[in-house]
Structure 1
């Protein structure tokens, strides 16, 4: 009942993750359209946008929705707006976001990133995932758990990224907040005016209709 009529292949799923159907411009327009129609005051919606924009700079991949929603709840912002704003982070923006957060984190900690960006993220992430998988297997076998690559990933990538996400995340969040408030306010004002005009037109039509005997 809930299955897609056209089942997608793995290649198509991966391709659409990097380039959605209709392109990123259409996807951005959809998010903007949904954002404008969200319930709540402009400030409440903008606080949700702030939460989502801040979250995309953090290294909590797979948990961005959860982190953005919790942050929006604490800020008394729109949770739906926060979830929509996390789409600022996508396969086209994650590389510059990662680079900015990592560089900022190492600068704040007084350390330096060892190796290139690819080596710091993909290679170390793969090595850490290998250690994690080995340790899971070690629970059920006589193998000895290894933690070296996991420690290296935490020290070189995850912790600097988490710390470095604070400054650029705040900057991006504040910019998105102050850009969102006037746009949402203007849209809600125009929408209210259109609805009022429509209601007045319906009343006029009802008053002009001949009364039934």
Structure 2
């Protein structure tokens, strides 16, 4: 489920190929990439695409680049993202060390189970309880969101400044290749017209 059909190298090269070919200014593309990277650090699972698109729109970045930028969060980087976000958020909130992937996964699972049971309680005589959701919010979601916002902002700024010169260099090289191709075609057309 987590491994792409063609392998990670092929998936990565496809994303990079799509980013290079986007019809927009390098600055807008780099802003979009930064927005996608930033959102990858937030605990908004299932909403990363929408969040990245919204952030790119606010930053006046390329929305498609933002969607592609969310691939920064993948099965290899999520453990690092999770630990860095949780450690930072827990430290700021004074909650100690809580950065274990198992704890976060258990927190999400418990919260969703409780929400499901509470929805069911609306239609049955069972009573609703929000203890697990409250614990999840204060012990997992809040530190993850706070830490992810801080760490993600730093990584996103880095992604912007790394991707911008790469995109500019690629565009310049591509422009030179197109210019050479045009010159060769023009010279071939001139030689053909002289031969007639």
**TM band (smaller chain):** over 0.9
Q: Which residue does the alignment assign to 1:66?
A: 50
Distance 1:195 1:118, change over 3 A: closer
Runs in 1 of length 4+ with deviation above 6 angstroms? none
2:133 and 2:45 mapped to 1: Cα distance?
Answer: 17
Say if 2:192 is the partner of 1:206. no
Q: Which residue does the alignment assign to 2:112?
A: 129
Say if 2:77 is the partner of 1:93. yes
Alpha carbons 2:79, 2:101 under 8 Å: kept: no
Alpha carbons 1:113, 1:120 under 8 Å: kept: no
TM score, norm. by length of structure 1? 0.86
The alpha-carbon deviation at position 56 of structure 1 amounts to 0.3
The alpha-carbon deviation at position 120 of structure 1 amounts to 2.2
Say if 2:61 is the partner of 1:77. yes
Q: Write out aligned runs for 1:114-153 (5 A).
A: 117-153=100-136
Computed over aligned residues only, the root mean square deviation of the Cα atoms, in angstroms, reads 1.8
The alpha-carbon deviation at position 208 of structure 1 amounts to 2.5
Q: Which residue does the alignment assign to 1:191?
A: 174
The alpha-carbon deviation at position 99 of structure 1 amounts to 0.9
Counterpart secondary structure, 2:168: helix
- Paired residues in the alignment total 196
Q: Which runs of 5+ in 1 are unaligned?
A: 1-13
1:144 and 1:194 mapped to 2: Cα distance?
Answer: 69
Q: Which residue does the alignment assign to 1:10?
A: none
Superposed CA offset, 1:98-119 (max 9, x none): 11101101111122245x6144
1:137 and 1:56 mapped to 2: Cα distance?
Answer: 32
Superposed CA offset, 1:27-69 (max 9, x none): 1111111111111221111111110111100000111111111
